[in-house]
């Protein structure tokens, strides 16, 4: 069994193409919740890790997840049912395009670790390709959905490759979603910035300051900032 054990919940991931990685844990721990969200939408849920982390962090009554892949959907439902918060977690088996066709709710928090790869090659594993390739969920589709489904004071939070940050912010600005928090992630002090953690709202800040998060000083020597961010989740932090 491929089970990832966190402090307050466990995640089974044997059926999922995309295994739990640092990206999801970073986003789930970093995502701003200062608007006290009542309702959450997790787009492209995979194992359900983001929804589970948010269920631990906040008392939102409604945490909806959306997953199109059959196996991942089944696994997400299983992980929700086995968690301490099963009464607040629900997974829809649908694509984003179907979901936004008949929107029933607005959400105070929309979160996504979207599939990304701008590169034009495919592997032999079509399930992993679906999870990883951008045509599975173009940024434009994700941003349009956020614009449609976000409540007035809602927050839209993502983790994306740093090289896509400028374009993603530009696309959001076009639909009047503005960055309120930006954190750029580096593996070590000497490596290049790999990821951008971005949060958006419907109103613009007069000034926006970006900060930086370094994960390790050397192999398995985690920085204080990374430990502080993830210690409520990782067993060994």
DSSP 102-131: S----EEEEEE------S----S-HHHHHH
**pLDDT tier, 129 (very low <50, low <70, confident <90, very high otherwise):** low
How confident is the model over 219-227, as a mean pLDDT? 94
Strands 193-201 and 150-161: antiparallel
Residue-wise DSSP of 38-61: SEEEEES-TTSHHHHHHHHH---S
What gap in Å lies between CA 98 and CA 93, rounded to an integer?
A: 10
How confident is the model over 154-161, as a mean pLDDT? 97
Q: Is pLDDT at 161 greater than 60 in this prediction? A: yes
Cα angle 199-171-32, degrees, rounded to a multiple of 5:
5
Using only C-alpha atoms, what is the Rg of the chain?
Answer: 17
Summarize pLDDT for 56-115 with one digit per residue, the tens.
999 999 999 999 999 999 999 999 999 999 999 999 999 998 999 877 789 999 999 987
**pLDDT tier, 153 (very low <50, low <70, confident <90, very high otherwise):** very high
- Structural domains of the chain, with CATH: 3-230 (3.40.50.150)
pTM of the model: 0.91
pLDDT of residue 167: 95
Strands 178-186 and 193-201: antiparallel
What gap in Å lies between CA 52 and CA 32, rounded to an integer?
A: 15
How confident is the model over 124-138, as a mean pLDDT? 61
CA 3 to chain centre: 20
């Amino acid at each position: 069994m491929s089970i990832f054990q966190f402090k307050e919940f466990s995640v089974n991931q044997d059926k999922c193409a995309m295994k739990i990685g640092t990206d999801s844990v970073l986003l789930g721990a970093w995502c701003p919740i200062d608007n006290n969200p009542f309702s959450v939408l997790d787009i492209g849920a995979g194992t359900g890790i983001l929804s589970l982390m948010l269920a631990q962090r906040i008392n939102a009554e409604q945490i909806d997840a959306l997953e199109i892949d059959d196996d991942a959907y089944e696994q997400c439902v299983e992980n929700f049912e086995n968690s301490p918060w099963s009464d607040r977690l629900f997974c829809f088996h649908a694509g984003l395009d179907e979901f936004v066709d008949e929107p029933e709710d607005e959400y105070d928090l929309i979160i996504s670790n979207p599939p990304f790869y701008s590169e034009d090659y495919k592997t032999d594993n079509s399930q992993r390709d679906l999870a990883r390739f951008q045509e599975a969920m173009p940024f434009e589709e994700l941003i349009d959905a956020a614009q449609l489904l976000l409540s007035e004071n809602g927050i839209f939070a993502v983790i994306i490759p740093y090289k896509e940050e400028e374009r993603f912010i530009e696309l959001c600005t076009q639909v009047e979603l503005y960055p309120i928090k930006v954190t750029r992630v580096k593996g070590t002090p000497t490596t290049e910035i790999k990821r951008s953690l971005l949060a958006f709202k419907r109103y613009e800040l007069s000034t926006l300051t970006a900060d930086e998060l370094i994960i390790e000083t050397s192999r398995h020597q985690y920085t204080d900032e990374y430990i502080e961010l993830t210690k409520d989740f990782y067993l060994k932090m």
